[in-house]
Structure 1
């Protein structure tokens, strides 16, 4: 039974996603914070359990980042709709994720199995989780004050910078893999 725990936690995170969007949209921010924090906690917990007990599966390697990205993008969509953050943040994240998906498919077609997340991808995800939580909390506590707006801008800016750094690192890995693949198969 223990071998299914990481995947069950990932599925729980996927189930939470539509509820998270609903509660942010309906301005039920305390519930949204709890769901988002639950998502972050289950993400850390499933990764810890999977690594500690060697329960890493191909299915988990695909679903875990999918759950993370769906949770993150859902939160960002509704934060944009509620005018908490600018649309450009959402566009950057969606474009980054689209490029990651396309790159992953291309690597897979060349015979490489799923590439796990690297530290910079995990860091970007964690920082975005904190930035999203900080945005919601600051809007609840301080509203549209200058302090809240500045703090949100810094948190979201840092998250976007980390996301762009992760994208640049993944692009460099992709090009290195492609170069190595072409050299190996064009001999």
Structure 2
């Protein structure tokens, strides 16, 4: 297990920490939970940087990194819905998108096929981190940024399916679009 994968696992462990802080009675719990969320975002950037710079990209990391991102985003959005910071429809749309991506990712992984995250997917993740952070400072601006994040997520979702089908056609429908 290399350092980028360890950082990704650490990010997964931050999910229950976020939940505990978010719903705790600790003074400034929102601030502390958002700090955990931002630390998760920084580890995401760091693990990607280290993996690329030192050629530590692994099949496990290609699968686990976006899974950690998806689970963190879904957790945070769920918590925000529970406390009425955002509307339920945002969580529903993003949940359908993210759970579909996880489901199809597992199917492709079992077929030894991986479509790694791309710039549009990464931009969407950054937008969600920015919008959720902004929401805690300025609800109106944060809400608009969340709407933008939802639109970006839907565009990224369509883009991933286009990439999958293009690769599938190029390789004669043998489900080997990107092998790692």
The bucket for the TM-score relative to the shorter chain is 0.7 to 0.9
Kindly report structure 1 stretches of 4+ aligned residues shifted beyond 6 Å.
none
Distance 1:105 1:55, change over 3 A: same
- What is the root-mean-square deviation in Å for CA atoms of aligned residues? 2.0
* Corresponding residue for residue 141 of structure 1: none
Residues 7-26 of structure 1: matches in 2 within 5 Å?
Answer: 7-26=5-24
Where does the alignment leave 5 or more consecutive residues of structure 2 unmatched?
176-180
Counterpart contact for 1:24–1:79, Cα < 8 Å = no
Where does the alignment leave 5 or more consecutive residues of structure 1 unmatched?
139-147
* Corresponding residue for residue 178 of structure 1: 168
CA distance in 2, matches of 1:123, 1:131: 12
Counterpart contact for 2:115–2:164, Cα < 8 Å = no
CA distance in 1, matches of 2:121, 2:148: 14
* Corresponding residue for residue 143 of structure 1: none
1:107 Cα shift? Answer: 3.3
Give TM-score scaled by structure 2 length. Answer: 0.87
Bigger Rg over Cα: 1
Q: Which moved more, 1:99-108 or 1:75-84?
A: 99-108
Task: Tell me which protein shows more helix as a share of its residues.
Answer: 1
Counterpart contact for 2:5–2:47, Cα < 8 Å = yes
Counterpart contact for 2:121–2:156, Cα < 8 Å = yes
1:173 Cα shift? Answer: 1.4
How many residues are treated as equivalent by the alignment?
172
